[in-house]
Amino acid sequence: MQNPAMIDDSVVDVIVEDSASLSDENEAFEGIVGESTKMQEVFRLVERVADSDSTILINGETGTGKGLIAHAIHKQSYRRDQPFVSINCGAIPENLLESELFGHLKGAFTGATANKVGKFEASDGGTIFLDEIGDMSPDLQVKILKVLEERRFEPVGGCKTVQVNVRIIAATHRELEEEVQKGNFREDLFYRLYVIPIRLPSLRERRSDIPHFVSHFMNRLNSRKKTCVKSISDDALNVLMQHAWPGNVRELANLMERLVVIKGDGEIDINDLPEKMKNEAPKNCFLAPEITGDGLCLNTAVSEFEKRLIYQSLEKTKWVKNRAAQLLQVKRTTLVEKIKRYELQKCA
């Protein structure tokens, strides 16, 4: 595979064409990177459901692009010229959230010096994006349930019902089904939201997108920061390909900003990468991931481990599959099938 993060002048056109391939087909995905099979599946699903008005529940680890996809769904829907109103249900203090969502009348509570239109009313005709819905208090979960069912609500301190025509998209980094089992999330609300689920894969599950992200962020940063970083070395890219990216795309975007701003021009080399990152790849290969308080999905962890071993054997054998299969004591066909499944690609 060609390293798409090399942006010497001769290949600039190719890269621009590459990252614009989706947006050519569909403006709603403009600026959204996703060449991997998993992201292409997400895009196709978004295209199918955007106009349906059905409630959508987006699930994915932090930094996987939930906000970006929610906006793309709105842009793709017939509501695109109407408001897209986003509210982070986890970031607003509980006592203010009801007023934020439903508005309030003057005098409804101390400090309510004027009438206030809530997010639901503000998004009338368009889309409301309920971000981090898994962090909503039980009281509010009841109130939201009613709006989802009837598209009607009463502002705080008011008795007049307001009716809205709004499309609902919710997102959470939590596994809501598990939260229901633990008693943290209402089952009835879960089923109201769980109409069309969209799961965004972590960056670890779509490593083939990493070179495209690197090139995308490099281009964008060069034009925003007036820098002229032209490429990234294969060694450096290799390290990025191996990193676990717990912060997903946001972590990669932040790292690229740091690298591009500090470097200013030329090529990003392995020496420019954070020390910790350079050291982790080979060592971590055989380390079990840490089990945090939220637990860990054994299947995902085992797959990740398998993928790393396969990648390592391919690197060791210069991607000669027969030899890599021998090293791992599996049939060549098994190896080829797994390479395809994990979307493993040779860097440059």
Q: Which residues, 65 to 124, sit near ligand ATP by CB under 6 A?
A: 65-68
Task: List the single partner that 64 binds among Mg ion, ligand ATP, none, CB under 5 to 8 Å by kind.
Answer: ligand ATP
Q: What tokens does 183 get? A: 């008693």
Q: Which residue has the tokens 């692009």?
A: 65
Of 22-30, 59-67, 94-102, 331-339, the segment contacting Mg ion by CB under 5 A is: 59-67
**Residues whose CB is less than 8 angstroms from the CB of residue 291 and which lie 6 or more positions away in sequence, other chains included:** none
Please identify, using beta-carbon distances, which residue of 130 and 325 lies nearer to ligand ATP: 130
List beta partners, residue 171. 58
Closest CB 25 distance from ligand ATP, rounded Å: 15
Q: Which residues, 16 to 75, sit near ligand ATP by CB under 6 A?
A: 32-34, 60, 62-68
| Distance (Å, whole) CA 248 – CA 254 | 10
| Distance (Å, whole) CA 17 – CA 234 | 22
Please identify, using beta-carbon distances, which residue of 99 and 172 lies nearer to ligand ATP: 172
Q: Positive or negative CA dihedral for 102, 107, 111, 112?
A: positive
Q: Contacts with ligand ATP: how many residues (CB under 6 A)? A: 15
Closest CB 28 distance from ligand ATP, rounded Å: 13
Q: What tokens does 77 get? A: 């829907």
Q: Contacts with Mg ion: how many residues (CB under 5 A)? A: 2
Task: List the single partner that 32 binds among ligand ATP, Mg ion, none, CB under 5 to 8 Å by kind.
Answer: ligand ATP
Of positions 47, 67, 82, 344, contacts Mg ion by CB under 5 A: 67
Please identify, using beta-carbon distances, which residue of 67 and 158 lies nearer to Mg ion: 67
Please identify, using beta-carbon distances, which residue of 92 and 270 lies nearer to ligand ATP: 92
Measured from the Cβ of residue 348, the count of other Cβ atoms closer than 10 Å reads 16
Query: ∠ CA(56), CA(57), CA(60), 5° rounding?
Result: 135
Task: Tell me the DSSP string of 263-292.
Answer: H-EEEE-GGGS-HHHHHHHHHHTTPPPP-B
Per CB under 6 A, 173 contacts ligand ATP: yes
**What's the alpha-carbon Rg for the chain, to the nearest Å?**
23
Residues found near Mg ion in the complex (CB under 5 A): 66-67
Residues found near ligand ATP in the complex (CB under 6 A): 32-34, 60, 62-68, 173, 249-250, 253
